[in-house]
């Protein structure tokens, strides 16, 4: 489903984010990327969403070279991917409810469908009572949960989560990871980038370890080893 073939990303000669990275992710897999800060995890996810272009190598999504998708068609790729960004990337002029509803609007959902699904998503992430609050009125953890609900709401083929539990307390962390596992069990591919050792060890799923922009370990039932 997703394939990175000899991908290198160089921002400047002194800043090589990824170097000759190759791996494949099958449909329905749950893959975690671990590595120190600056190892290249976020760059890897940005390349998949076509937020960045690889300097060398190719990134395939469903046999399509992501770099060759014209800018006007990128929206089709991104609608298949639900992304939880490290910095949340919420729309500040919209409430928590509207942020989640926006993705459904983009997908062409009807108002009835939006009114039916959004409160449910907010309830799952424990924010139903905060649904009419703007991002500036929410804590870091709450913003992160809105971002998670937004990534899940349209039932994408792949969920890409960049440190989705970074600002969450252990209680909410466990909830979110349980949710991701459940979604994965229903057939959605999940790609998770995290620092959280406990989460990785608890998952018992495939783990790809990245160090200084290179894949140093790729284990089917991996552990958090740095």
Partner 1 sequence: MFTATLQRIVRSGWEKFSRDTSSSSAALLVMVIVLSIVTSLFFLQGVGSFLIQSLRESVDVSTFLKDSAPAEDIEALQQSLVALPEVKEVAYVSKEDALVQFMERHKQDQVILDSLDAIGQNPLLASLNIKAWDPASFGKITAFLETTPLASIIQNVDFHERAPVISRLAAITSGVRTGMLGGSIFAGLIAVLVAFNTIRLTIYSSKEEIEVMRLVGASNMFIRAPFLLQGIIVGGLASVITFTLLVPLTLFLSSKLETFVPQFSLFEYFMNNFFMILFLQLFVGIGLGVLSSLIAIRRYLKV
Listed residue (109, 89, 90, 86) closest to 98, CA to CA: 90
Q: Applying CB under 8 A, does 92 fall inside the site for partner 1?
A: yes
Stretch touching partner 1 by CB under 8 A, among 56-64, 76-84, 162-170, 212-220: 76-84
CB of 105 to partner 1, least distance (A): 6
Applying CB under 8 A, does 160 fall inside the site for partner 1?
no
Provide, rounded to whole angstroms, the least separation between the CB of residue 207 and partner 1. 26
| 152 closest CA partner among 104, 82, 91 | 82
User: Does 131 participate in binding partner 1 (rule CB under 8 A)?
Assistant: no
* Dist. CA 124–CA 87, nearest whole Å: 21
Check residue 90 for interaction with partner 1 (CB under 8 A): yes
Q: Pick from 75, 137, 139, 201: which binds partner 1 (CB under 8 A)?
A: 75
The nearest distance, CB 200 to partner 1, in angstroms, is 26
Angle between helices 96-107 and 140-152 (to 10 degrees): 20
Give me the phi and psi of 6, to 5 degrees please: 50, 50
DSSP 9-58: EEEETTEEEEEEEEEEE-TT-EEEEE--TTSSHHHHHHHHTTSS--SEEE
Distance of alpha carbon 200 from alpha carbon 163, whole angstroms: 12
Cβ–Cβ contacts within 10 Å for residue 86, how many? 17
CA dihedral sign, ordered 130, 79, 48, 93: negative
Based on CB atoms, which residue is closest to partner 1, 90 or 208?
90
Q: How far is the CB of 54 from partner 1 (least distance, A)?
A: 16
Q: Which is nearer to partner 1, 40 or 135 (CB)?
A: 135
Can you tell me whether residue 169 is helix, strand or coil?
coil
Nearer to partner 1, 13 or 108 (CB): 108
Q: Is 85 in the site for partner 1 (CB under 8 A)?
A: yes
- Rounded-to-integer distance, Cα 11 and Cα 40, Å: 12
**Shortest Å, Cβ 134 to partner 1:** 9
- Site for partner 1 contains 93 (CB under 8 A): yes
Write each residue from 18 to 57 as x if it is in contact with partner 1 (CB under 8 A), else as -, in one continuous string.
Answer: -------------------------------x-x------
Q: Give contact residues for partner 1 (rule: CB under 8 A).
A: 49, 51, 71-72, 74-79, 81, 83, 85, 89-94, 102-103, 105-108, 110-111, 150
């Amino acid at each position: 489903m997703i394939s990175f073939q000899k991908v290198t990303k160089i921002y400047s000669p002194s800043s090589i984010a990824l170097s000759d990275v190759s791996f494949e992710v099958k449909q329905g897999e749950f893959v975690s990327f671990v590595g120190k800060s600056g190892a290249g995890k976020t760059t890897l996810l940005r390349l998949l969403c076509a937020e960045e272009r690889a300097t060398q190598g190719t990134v395939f999504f469903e046999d399509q070279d992501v770099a060759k998708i014209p800018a006007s068609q990128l929206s089709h790729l991104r609608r298949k991917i639900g992304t939880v960004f490290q910095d949340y990337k919420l729309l500040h002029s919209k409430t928590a409810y509207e942020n989640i509803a926006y993705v459904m609007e983009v997908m062409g959902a009807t108002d009835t469908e939006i009114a039916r699904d959004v409160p449910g998503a907010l309830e799952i992430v424990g924010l139903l009572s905060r649904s009419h609050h703007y991002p500036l009125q929410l804590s870091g953890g709450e913003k992160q949960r809105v971002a998670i609900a937004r990534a899940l709401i349209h039932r994408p083929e792949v969920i890409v989560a960049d440190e989705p539990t970074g600002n969450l307390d252990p209680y909410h962390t466990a909830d979110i990871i349980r949710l991701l596992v459940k979604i994965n069990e229903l057939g959605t591919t999940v790609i998770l980038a995290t620092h959280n050792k406990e989460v990785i060890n608890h998952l018992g799923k495939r783990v790809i370890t990245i160090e200084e922009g290179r894949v140093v370990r790729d284990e089917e039932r991996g552990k958090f080893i740095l």
